[in-house]
Structure 1
Amino acid sequence: MTASSTRLTSTRAALSRDVRDASRWKGSDAERFRSDWDGTHSLLLGKVIEALAEAGRAAARHADEQELASGARDAAGSTSTSAPDARKGAGNISFLGEDHSIPRHPDRGEPNLTPADLDRLGNMVGSAASGGNFLAGNDADVNGLREALTALKPAQLNQLLASLSDDELRNLGSGAAGDGKGWFNYEGTTPFERQQLLDQLLSKASPEQVHRLQDLIPWAQPDGTAMGDAARPGGPDPSTLNRWMQPRFPVIGERPGPDDITQGRYGDCVVLAAAGAMVNADSGWAREHVTDNGNGTVSVLLFDKNGHEQWVTVTSDLPANSNGGQMGAKGGFGGNWPAYLEKALAQVYTEDGNNDGTKEGAPPDEAYPAGNYRAIEGNWGPDAFQYLAGPDVERTRDADVLWGAASGGKPALVTTLGETPNGAPAGYRANHAYFVRGTDERGNIILQNPWGAFEPSMAVSKEDFRRLFSDATVTN
């Protein structure tokens, strides 16, 4: 069983390379099959591979236990030993898998708000929905309401939501979406502050109230259209679709890891390379920073511009491609967490510039604000990395700095040149980002393409880095 798991792993990798070879098969049928392969078939094969591997491990354990028991029986002359339970191990593995998220709100509490409590909170909702605060703007009211909601248990929040009319919630969404500025508030309500308010609403609400909030607050859902990935063969593949689907796989699987990183149709290689770098350096990172709330929402822990960690909560639906499959990052055996990281980041990302690659003959790129997937496409390493790792990140061309980070197990990513240079290794893609998996016995760094673990890894020397790569981003 262990050998079969290994053979099937190699077979899946070879098939993945063939399926993604655009020179072999072109057209809508090819794209539909590639989508099905990434979104369903390859993932199910991964489940079979892991099930076979676990079955092999379980069989080996049982064999060891039997040998130990037999040895003890022979030594003692006893026949009273009990056989291992053959139902344990691989027998409980499910192809779709169970979610292994860490709950944020395990205590739902009781709906015990008094009428006076509801009146007070209702007035705060009305203040946050209004722009009438002449001096400070309604930014202070939005944050005040968010702080009040933080103190509520989920059952109390649902009691409050049930007491509010659709118009009150719709007005709250409109008021919080404004800049919130007054005479003495130059910054106003930032995307992170809006999302902190939405986080308290969505993460605690019942599924019914989640649907209601999603219907009444338009900015609860980002725009899912795409510019596409300029590093792909043929250049970026824009998409004007803004449709959504419910994925089949859990948010957090049994063992999240860097092999879960599989970039989809968005040109956000830097984002997914940063995510791969983080989970490669800390195997528990995904479980601690992404969680399924069990009510149709998912929370992602990101750093804001002040270096503070903040939860960003999004609904569990994900952008759909023309075939109805996931358009963004694909799920792996460790879960769908990279896709939710994309979605949460799209809601708060404010670093976009107008320098992304576009299809020849297409209009030039624009700088998109928070609330757009197109905002997280392209961009520079530190701009995206700081949302995941905090503000202490460094962009460098110093190979010694990069190698020091790699040997110290710190998250790091590298970016390639704008055109493929002579002598580039297999797997090199221009205008692309890779994350560091570690070092080998020769002192090279090992790079992984965020397109997926099926892509060839690259062993890069310091000389190669200086000659073939643009720069690196490391965490300090």
Structure 2
Amino acid sequence: MMFWGADTAQLSKHATATHGGAARLETLLGTIEQVALSTEWTGADAESFRTRARAEVARGLAAADLLRGLGAELTGHSDEQDDASDGDDGQGVPAVAAALTPETQDELDSLLADALHDGGLEDLRGNSRDLDALAERLAELTPEERAEWIAGLEDDELAALRDAMAADGDGLFWTGGNTDQSRRALLDQLLRDADPADVERISELFPELHPDGRGGGDAAQGTYDVNPDGTVTPPGEVVPEDASWRDVSQGSYGDCVSMATLAMMMDQDPGWAAEHVQDNGNGTVTVTLYDENGDPEPITMPKELPSEDGKVVGAGRGPLADDPTSATWPSYVERALAIQMGGDYSGIEGHGSPEVGPRLTGLDVETIPPTDADAAFDAARRGEPMVVGTSVKLAENDTGPGDWRGGHGYWVDGVSTNDSGEEVIVLRNPHGPDTPTVELTREQYEKYTSSAEVHHD
């Protein structure tokens, strides 16, 4: 059958891109509104500024609604064209022009061939240099161009690319093989703008997109031997407009320090989640972590989470069980960490701030020993981002003050004064916003903590 009329694949891609753009615009506007309205400023000028900010945000939200409407219109046109083409008698208008020029198509095909080619000692198959060159060129394209090129790849070409990327290390004299970070960079380019059908193809072919969900559990909660039996995709917004540290609720995995760090960063900067987690609108999510040099590293993954009996087992386990539409950004940050730190969830358990802090924040970590309570209290008083560990051995009948838990990680929420008039450092538990805080005097701090890590440039 000859095909005439609009190219429905292109219409679908544009519709997906339009919906994704609307979602990103809404997220950005929510961050702008939150920052504008939370600024400490009083007076007539302040009220005038806030009124104008609300009006501008409302205009932006109207634009986002328009984008969604246009996306729905494109989808409708695509469906109508498919229906019309099924009974086509050879009449109609030529298909719309492709996004890729022939020159760009040839260039990308050549880069792919180089990545798949085994040219001997000087150009081994899986050469990280060639794979990086392909990823870098894809990054220079528009989302539409990337999506079109990926849609044109046959399954056997994707499978060959997977095999080339699977070679470990940098190879002999750095001429062959591939690195984990290089793989993640190329998968990011393949996934983030792809058509949902192509996302599904890539997801099925690349096992590294699906970190092993088994883990040792979190002793502080009494969860052990985490064994998911499937995956789920919660229906709620990944990063809602009112995203905050209260969204952080540690799940079954023993990654308390990572979860404490997330809550700490959101307390410091309520826009952190919107800046680091993006729903791409095509069945994928991109989380920006940081590499060993402190440079941003986007990690794109299918929009799924490990589950047991249909319920999320990781970050957000409690809130999502009560309300499946709860925010899921902490869950996807946790998943990105599992991908970055070796490919399984057990690899993110049991780590302290020196290991996970820089990955999440891009900041350096300075350790304050428990014997230096003054330094820790001073940092807390200044509002510096800080995580405290409690890996200490206590006497047999000593259970610690209040809701204190051993072998755990807390984030510091400043200092306060207790009923006795003593200054105390306030620790928040990443098990969830309703978990009681722990308040320690200087003497208790030195007894019940094992270290404090301050995050700074």
| TM-score, normalisation: structure 1 | 0.68
Whole-angstrom distance in 1 between the partners of 2:177 and 2:379: 38
Cα deviation for residue 395 of structure 1 reads 2.3
For residues 62-119 of structure 1, the C-alpha deviation after alignment (integer angstroms, 9 at most, x for no partner) is xxxxxxxxxxxxxxxxxxxxxxxxxxx9xxxxxxxx9xxxxxxxxxxx8421233222
Alignment of 1:149-164 (within 5 A): 149-164=138-153
Tell me which residue corresponds to 1:446.
426
Cα deviation for residue 258 of structure 1 reads 1.4
Cα deviation for residue 434 of structure 1 reads 0.8
Tell me which residue corresponds to 2:129.
140
Decide whether the 8 Å contact of 1:139 with 1:189 is kept in 2: yes
Q: Does residue 1:340 correspond to 2:340, yes or no? A: no
Alignment RMSD: 2.5
Q: Does residue 1:299 correspond to 2:291, yes or no? A: no
Decide whether the 8 Å contact of 1:245 with 1:319 is kept in 2: yes
Alignment of 1:273-288 (within 5 A): 273-288=260-275
Decide whether the 8 Å contact of 1:411 with 1:436 is kept in 2: yes
Kindly tell me: are residues 191 and 149 of structure 1, through their superposed partners in 2, closer, same or farther at Cα, counting changes over 3 Å? same
Kindly tell me: are residues 450 and 301 of structure 1, through their superposed partners in 2, closer, same or farther at Cα, counting changes over 3 Å? same
| TM-score, normalisation: structure 2 | 0.71
Tell me which residue corresponds to 2:36.
none
SS of aligned partner of 2:191: helix
The percentage of aligned residue pairs carrying the same residue is 37
Decide whether the 8 Å contact of 2:283 with 2:302 is kept in 1: yes
Alignment of 1:344-423 (within 5 A): 344-349=336-341, 370-397=342-369, 398-420=372-394, 422=398
Cα deviation for residue 243 of structure 1 reads 1.5
Decide whether the 8 Å contact of 2:128 with 2:176 is kept in 1: no
Whole-angstrom distance in 2 between the partners of 1:469 and 1:186: 48
Cα deviation for residue 131 of structure 1 reads 5.6
Q: 1:265 aligns with which of 221, 238, 252?
A: 252
Decide whether the 8 Å contact of 2:429 with 2:435 is kept in 1: yes
Q: 1:437 aligns with which of 400, 413, 417?
A: 413
Query: Size of the alignment, in residue pairs?
Result: 347
Deviation larger for 261-270 or 133-142:
133-142
Whole-angstrom distance in 2 between the partners of 1:348 and 1:132: 30
Tell me which residue corresponds to 1:81.
none
For residues 27-63 of structure 1, the C-alpha deviation after alignment (integer angstroms, 9 at most, x for no partner) is xxxxxxxxxxxxxxxxxxxxxxxxxxxxxxxxxxxxx
Q: Which runs of 5+ in 2 are unaligned?
A: 1-57, 59-64, 66-96
Tell me which residue corresponds to 1:240.
227
Q: Does residue 1:318 correspond to 2:305, yes or no? A: yes
Decide whether the 8 Å contact of 2:353 with 2:365 is kept in 1: no
Decide whether the 8 Å contact of 2:412 with 2:427 is kept in 1: yes
Tell me which residue corresponds to 1:53.
none
Whole-angstrom distance in 1 between the partners of 2:448 and 2:214: 32
Cα deviation for residue 248 of structure 1 reads 2.2
Kindly tell me: are residues 342 and 187 of structure 1, through their superposed partners in 2, closer, same or farther at Cα, counting changes over 3 Å? farther
Whole-angstrom distance in 1 between the partners of 2:176 and 2:122: 13
Whole-angstrom distance in 2 between the partners of 1:388 and 1:347: 13
Decide whether the 8 Å contact of 1:223 with 1:371 is kept in 2: yes
Q: Which runs of 5+ in 1 are unaligned?
A: 1-88, 90-97, 99-109, 350-369
Whole-angstrom distance in 2 between the partners of 1:452 and 1:186: 48
Whole-angstrom distance in 1 between the partners of 2:207 and 2:218: 27
SS of aligned partner of 2:427: strand
